[in-house]
C-alpha cells in the first residue's frame, strides 16, 4: 500500500534532487531527516506506520511517503512515485528495517523471506531503478551517494536473530557490488551500528549487559549515526566501505 501524503506541484518537485531516507519516521532515520533538513537538503522519508513524528517532519518541510517494502507491489509503487516526481536524486539512505527473532516467529520460512525482502531485495530493486536519477544528481550537483544501514551483527552473526543477521550481511555485500557498478558517479557505502540507543522498555539489567559488550561502555545516542551519514555525504574519496559504530565491540 502506498499513499502520497503531501500534494506538491509537480514542476516544483522535478526541480529538486532530494535525499531519500527509507524508514525515516523513528530513531536514526528520524534524527537524520531532521539534521539533513537543517543542513539545507531537500529530504524525502518513507514510513510504514503512521506516527506523530510524521506531522513534525512535514512542518519542517520534509516530504513523507507511506511505503511498505515487505511486498514487491509496495516497492514498485514507491519507485514509480519517485520517478514521477523527481528528475534526480542526491542520495539514497536505506534505513528501513525490521528486527525479527526466530523465537518470536511461528513461520521461520516466512521470517527469512521477510528479512531478505526488506533488507536486501528492496534496496537491490530501488538502487537499480534509481541508477539514472542518482547519475543525474551527480551531473547536476557533483555528488551522489547510496548509504546502506547494516548492522554490527552482519560481522559476527546472531544465534537469536539468524534471519535478520544474514539479511544484513546480504545488504553489506550489496555495498561492494553497487560500488563497482555505479563508480565513479555514485559512491556506495555502509554504516554498521551496534548499540546506539536503548528502547524505553529495555530494563536496567539488559542495558548494563549491552553496555558491557563494548570497550567504551556507553549509549552514544542517535547523533553518532547522524555524524556518520554527514561524513559520507561530504566525503568524495570513499566507496565500497563500511563505517563501524560499535564502540570497540570487535575487541571485547
Q: Which residues contact 96 (CB under 8 A, 6 or more apart)?
A: 22, 23, 29, 46, 48, 69, 118, 122
164 is catalytic: yes
C-alpha distances in angstroms, 17 versus 3, 22, 92, 142, 143? 21, 16, 11, 12, 11
Task: Specify the residue for cell string 518541510.
Answer: 61
| Cis-peptide into 12, omega within 30 deg | no
| Catalytic residue (one of 164, 206, 231, 237) | 164
- List Cα–Cα distances, 217 to 206, 213, 237, 243, in angstroms: 13, 7, 31, 19
List the grid coordinates of 191. 554504516
Residue whose C-alpha cell is 535478520: 164
CA–CA separation, 168 vs 118, rounded Å? 10
- Torsion, Cα 194 195 199 200, to 10 degrees, reads 180
Residues classed as catalytic: 164
Amino acid at each position: 500500500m502506498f499513499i502520497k501524503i503531501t500534494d506538491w506541484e509537480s514542476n516544483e518537485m522535478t526541480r529538486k534532487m532530494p535525499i531519500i531516507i527509507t524508514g525515516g519516521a523513528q530513531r536514526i532515520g528520524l534524527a537524520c531527516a531532521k539534521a539533513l533538513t537543517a543542513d539545507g537538503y531537500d529530504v524525502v522519508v518513507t514510513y510504514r506506520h503512521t506516527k506523530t513524528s510524521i506531522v513534525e517532519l512535514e512542518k519542517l518541510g520534509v516530504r513523507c511517503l507511506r511505503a511498505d517494502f515487505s511486498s514487491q507491489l509496495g516497492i514498485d509503487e514507491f519507485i514509480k512515485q519517485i520517478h514521477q516526481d523527481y528528475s534526480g536524486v542526491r542520495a539514497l539512505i536505506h534505513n528501513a528495517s525490521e528486527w525479527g527473532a526466530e523465537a518470536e516467529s511461528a513461520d521461520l520460512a516466512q521470517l527469512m523471506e521477510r528479512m531478505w525482502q526488506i533488507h536486501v531485495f528492496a534496496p537491490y530493486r530501488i538502487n537499480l531503478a534509481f541508477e539514472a536519477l542518482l547519475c543525474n544528481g551527480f551531473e547536476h550537483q557533483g555528488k551522489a551517494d547510496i548509504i546502506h544501514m547494516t548492522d554490527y551483527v552482519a560481522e559476527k552473526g546472531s544465534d537469536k536473530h539468524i534471519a535478520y543477521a544474514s539479511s544484513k550481511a546480504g545488504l553489506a555485500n550489496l555495498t561492494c557490488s553497487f560500488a563497482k557498478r555505479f563508480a565513479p558517479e555514485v559512491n556506495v557505502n555502509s554504516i554498521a551500528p551496534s548499540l546506539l540507543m536503548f528502547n524505553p522498555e529495555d530494563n536496567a539489567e539488559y542495558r548494563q549487559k549491552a553496555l558491557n559488550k563494548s570497550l567504551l561502555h556507553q549509549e552514544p545516542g542517535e547523533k553518532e549515526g547522524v555524524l556518520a551519514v554527514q561524513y559520507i555525504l561530504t566525503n568524495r574519496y570513499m566507496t565500497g566501505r563500511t563505517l563501524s559504530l560499535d564502540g570497540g565491540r570487535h575487541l571485547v
